[in-house]
Structures are given as structure tokens and as C-alpha cells.
Chain A
Amino acid sequence: GNSVTQMEGPVTLSEEAFLTINCTYTATGYPSLFWYVQYPGEGLQLLLKATKADDKGSNKGFEATYRKETTSFHLEKGSVQVSDSAVYFCALSEGMTGGSYIPTFGRGTSLIVHP
């Protein structure tokens, strides 16, 4: 079955530091890959996505590249802000057949950014 593995947190950084959160996946087909962000007390929001190999998703200064050869989708940001403090979930899903459309989530990585 499909699975997503994320690095354990919390990740603690100072403002303006470089961020990397690692994510690797296993899938039987050709999934789309996602990063979701969850702020305290809120639901999950889509941060970015990539639908095929070598695609780069980007949003709000965050980037992730779909690497099929390493089955990875690492999240990066060049300069984090205090407002980026949240929990980040890597996820995958496939097409609408065979039940594989159901999102599979990683365990989440908490990011704490200090001023």
C-alpha cells in the first residue's frame, strides 16, 4: 500500500534560517504529492502540490520538487518567519479509481520559529 514518511520534529529554527523538511513516499502507481500546513486550532490547508515527476510546487516562499528517482518530496524555504510556525504534513493521493484517491498522510512535522 501507499505510505509517507516524514522527518520527526519538532524542527526549531531562528527567523531567516533555511528550512528543509524531508518527505519520502512509497506508492503502487503514479501519485500526486502535496504539502499541507496546519496552524494551531485550525484545519489543514494545502500549501503546494506537484502532479508528476520533476514538477516543482511553490507557494509563499516554500518549494518542493517531485523526485521520482529518490521517491522524495522535500519541503524547503530559504528564510523562515515566526508566522511559519505550524505543523506540516506531506501527503499523496492517486487518481479516482481503485480507492487510491484517498489521501495518505505523513505523521506531520512541527516547525517552531523563534524571533
Chain B
Amino acid sequence: DAMVIQNPRYQVTQFGKPVTLSCSQTLNHNVMYWYQQKSSQAPKLLFHYYDKDFNNEADTPDNFQSRRPNTSFCFLDIRSPGLGDAAMYLCATSTQGRDGSTEAFFGQGTRLTVV
């Protein structure tokens, strides 16, 4: 029944060592999002794809990149992780529903630790 799947659930990486987080979906939704969430805060949008169109938030650091090779998969690449990048990373999808709403479906998240 899993619809948005993130791997791995927990990732430990070394300071400055590139790391990739992955997300897949079985919903065939055209929009995919990456959020960063730190303790006790709201999710912060990093970027999203509308179909193949990439949309970067203005305050997303260049250290964060993303790839969407097809509808089902999306990757978050952190080129040189710093201690401040330790967070929960959430992938989500959405599309226009029959009721006109655009509900977001979230994965379980990847908890990134930087050592």
C-alpha cells in the first residue's frame, strides 16, 4: 500500500561527503516536492518538479540539487553536507484531485545525520 517511499529511513554521512536521498511514488502524480524539516519546525520547501520542470526556492542553498529521471523517481543530492544540514528530509507528491484540491502525499522521511 506504500505510495511514496523514501530510502533510506536513516542516513549517516560524513561532513563534506556527497550523499543522495531517494524517493519513489506509485501514484503517478505529476508534482514531486522535497522538504527539509528541523526539530519542532514546519517543513521548509527546497524545490519541486512540476512534470519535468524544476522549480528551485530562492533561499535553497546551491549545495542542494535534485534529479527526476522519470515520473516515479526523484533524488535529492547534497554535494557537501555540513553539520547544519542534519535534518529530516521529506518527499511529497501531489496532483489535481477530482474535487479540485491538491492534497500532498508524504513519504516517511529520511533522517540525515552528519558526523
A interface with B by C-beta (< 8 Å): 32, 34, 36, 41-46, 49, 51, 87, 89, 91, 93-96, 99, 101-103, 105-108, 110
A42: chain B residues at CB < 8 Å are 108-109
**Provided the pairs A32-B100, A95-B102 are in contact, do residues A41 and B111 lie with their beta carbons within 8 angstroms?**
yes
CB distance from B91 to the nearest CB of A (A): 8
Answer whether A101 and B41 are a contact pair too, CB < 8 Å, given A42-B109, A49-B103, A93-B104.
Answer: no
Which residues of chain B are within 8 angstroms of A95 by Cβ–Cβ distance? 96, 100, 102
Interface size on B, residues (CB 8 A): 28
Q: List 21 A-B contacts (CB under 8 A).
A: A32-B99, A34-B101, A41-B111, A42-B108, A43-B109, A44-B106, A49-B101, A51-B99, A51-B100, A93-B103, A95-B96, A96-B96, A96-B102, A101-B31, A101-B94, A102-B45, A103-B94, A103-B102, A103-B104, A105-B43, A106-B42
A74 CB to nearest chain B CB (Å): 18
Q: Which residues of A contact B96 (CB under 8 A)?
A: 95-96, 101
B107 an interface residue at 8 Å Cβ cutoff?
yes
Residue of B43, B101, B109 with most chain A CB atoms under a 10 A cut-off: B101
* B102 lies within 8 A of A105 (CB): no
CA distance A94 to B102 in the complex (A): 7
Whether A102 pairs with B40 at a CB distance below 8 angstroms is no
